[in-house]
Amino acid sequence: MMNFVVKTLANAGALLVAIWLLPDMTLTGGSTGKKALSLVLVALIFGLVNVVVKPVVKLLTLPLFILTLGLITLVVNALMLMLTSWLADQFSLNFHVEGFGTAVLGGLIISVVSWALNVALPDRD
3-state secondary structure the chain: CHHHHHHHHHHHHHHHHHHHHCCCEEECCCCHHHHHHHHHHHHHHHHHHHHHHHHHHHHHCHHHHHHCCCCHHHHHHHHHHHHHHHHHHHCCCCEEECCHHHHHHHHHHHHHHHHHHHHHCCCCC
Higher-scoring residue by pLDDT: 29, 77: 77
- The pLDDT, as a whole number, for residue 33 is 85
Domain of residue 100, residue span:
2-120
Q: Residue 75 falls within a domain, yes or no?
A: yes
Query: Could you report the per-residue pLDDT of 10-22, keeping only the tens digit for each?
Result: 889 999 999 999 9
1 confidence band (pLDDT: 50, 70, 90): low
* Residue 10 identity: A
Q: Residue 34 falls within a domain, yes or no?
A: yes
- The pLDDT, as a whole number, for residue 9 is 86
99 Rama sector, left if φ>0, alpha if ψ -120 to 50, beta otherwise? left
**Structural domains counted in the chain:** 1
Q: Residue 125 falls within a domain, yes or no?
A: no
Query: Could you report the per-residue pLDDT of 59-112, keeping only the tens digit for each?
Result: 998 999 899 988 998 999 999 999 999 999 999 999 999 999 999 999 999 999
Whether 125 has a pLDDT exceeding 60, the answer reads no
124 confidence band (pLDDT: 50, 70, 90): low
Q: Residue 80 falls within a domain, yes or no?
A: yes
